[in-house]
Amino acid sequence: MHRRTFLRAASGLAALQADSVSRARAATSSINHRKPEEAARDEDYWREIQQAFTVDRNIINLNNGGVCPSPKIVQEAMQRQLEFSNMAPAYTMWTVLEPEIESVRTRLAGSFGCDPEELAITRNASEALEIAQLGLDLKSGDEVLTTDQDYPRMITTWQQRERRDGIKLSMISFPTPPPSMDDLYQRFERAITPRTRVIHFCHITNLTGQIFPVKKICQMARSRGIEALCAEGEDRKALAHDGRARVDERQHPQIRRDRHASRSQPQRNCRGADVS
Ligand SMILES: Cc1ncc(COP(=O)(O)O)c(C=O)c1O
């Protein structure tokens, strides 16, 4: 293909891709001033959002949590990068793409308001949480406090540590909706024992959508020398404020070791970015 024809075709493709995002963005800013109930009924708005995805129009997809469909622009970017990576892997994968992981990490850190060294790119929420769950230095008899609405895989991971390391898992329950946010906070506070080492909870539970007072719980945990571990992918704004409290690495010899190791050896084979 002639160079000029190729460039014209490539810029047309880029414009098309940017178009679905800019249309969704424009539609979203047009409903900013409206009540949620009104926006929910605006078919023109939802049409623009629908166009950004490739979900089968013959079914109604209700799972946008555990298996959330990716927007079209994300699928296209993944395909492009995969094809590029396979063009000449020793060069395209190692020399071009891999160093970019570090620049992505730096930019993500800027967006979340933390130091790049405080942020790890993992493949999904489960991997991120399990690194912390399995990496914490816990001894037999140490207690982990969570809720009976935490994500099932996270609960089975703690149960694995019960069998392996003899730790104890305690779960609080709560009514949905709870009487108040303070009620949720107090349920955690009341369940703490002298052996509690970790409080693990979701910012928003996937079962009922209940929101937890992240900052208050993390501050209370810190003040008592307890690790706070929070799955918080759903709300980036909250993460920017409270994310640092999730895993306080100064208190984690294991995580501190990993951090120093990662300085001398940049992360490899980490392709996806998940910020839970
Ligand atoms: C609170 C919570 N933790 C963990 C997960 C697991 O996510 P993933 O499938 O990306 O590992 C989810 C998924 O919905 C979740 O809501």
Tell me the best of 121, 151, 230, 232 to mutate to test the pocket of ligand 1, counting ligand atoms within 8 Å of each CB and taking the most.
151
Which residue among 21, 38, 61 closes a domain? Answer: 61
CA–centroid distance, 95 to ligand 1, in Å, is: 32
Confidence (pLDDT) at 147: 97
Tell me the best of 146, 206, 229, 234 to mutate to test the pocket of ligand 1, counting ligand atoms within 8 Å of each CB and taking the most.
206
Sheet holding 227-231, edge to edge: 168-172, 143-147, 196-202, 227-231
Question: Which stretches in the chain have pLDDT values below 70?
Answer: 1-18, 233-276
Q: Whose CA is nearest to atom 8 of ligand 1?
A: 125
Domain-embedded: residue 268: yes
Tell me the best of 123, 127, 133, 153 to mutate to test the pocket of ligand 1, counting ligand atoms within 8 Å of each CB and taking the most.
153
CA–centroid distance, 121 to ligand 1, in Å, is: 15
If asked whether residues 132 and 264 sit together in one domain, one would say yes
Domain-embedded: residue 68: no
Question: In the beta sheet, which residues pair with residue 274?
Answer: 122
How far apart, in whole angstroms, are the C-alpha atoms of residue 104 and residue 237? 19
Q: Are strands 196-202 and 227-231 parallel, antiparallel or unpaired?
A: parallel
CA–centroid distance, 125 to ligand 1, in Å, is: 5
Q: Give 153-209 pLDDT, tens digit per residue.
A: 999 999 999 999 999 999 999 999 999 999 999 999 999 999 999 999 999 998 888
If asked whether residues 94 and 131 sit together in one domain, one would say no
If asked whether residues 51 and 81 sit together in one domain, one would say no
Q: Is 10 exposed, middle or buried (0-12, 13-18, 19+ CB in 10 A)?
A: exposed
Ligand 1: residues whose CB is within 6 Å? 65-66, 124-126, 151, 154, 202, 206, 231
If asked whether residues 264 and 205 sit together in one domain, one would say yes
If asked whether residues 246 and 124 sit together in one domain, one would say yes
If asked whether residues 42 and 147 sit together in one domain, one would say no
If asked whether residues 250 and 131 sit together in one domain, one would say yes
Confidence (pLDDT) at 186: 98
Confidence (pLDDT) at 201: 96
Q: Which CATH number belongs to the domain containing residue 166 in this structure?
A: 3.40.640.10
Domain-embedded: residue 230: yes
If asked whether residues 52 and 81 sit together in one domain, one would say no
3-state per-residue secondary structure call for the chain = CCHHHHHHHHHHHHHHHHHHHHHHHHHHHHHCCCCHHHHHHCHHHHHHHHHCCCCCCCCCCCCCCCCCCCCHHHHHHHHHHHHHHCCCHHHHHHHHHHHHHHHHHHHHHHHHCCCHHHCCCECCHHHHHHHHHHHCCCCCCCEEEEECCCCHHHHHHHHHHHHHHCCEEEEECCCCCCCCHHHHHHHHHHHCCCCEEEEEEECECCCCCCECCHHHHHHHHHHCCCEEEEECCCCHHHHHHHHHHCCCHHHCHHHHHHHHHHHHCCCCCCCCCECC
pTM listed for this prediction: 0.71
From 275, 147, 153, 158, select the one nearest 213 (Cα to Cα): 147
Domain-embedded: residue 67: no
Domain-embedded: residue 49: yes
Confidence (pLDDT) at 165: 98
CA–centroid distance, 126 to ligand 1, in Å, is: 6
Confidence (pLDDT) at 263: 36
If asked whether residues 108 and 127 sit together in one domain, one would say no
If asked whether residues 40 and 24 sit together in one domain, one would say yes
Domain-embedded: residue 69: no
107: domain range?
74-112
Which residue among 61, 85, 103 closes a domain? Answer: 61
If asked whether residues 41 and 136 sit together in one domain, one would say no
Q: Whose CA is nearest to atom 12 of ligand 1?
A: 66
If asked whether residues 130 and 98 sit together in one domain, one would say no
Total domain count, the chain: 3
Q: What are 132's two structure tokens?
A: 């912390």
CA–centroid distance, 276 to ligand 1, in Å, is: 8
CA–centroid distance, 15 to ligand 1, in Å, is: 33
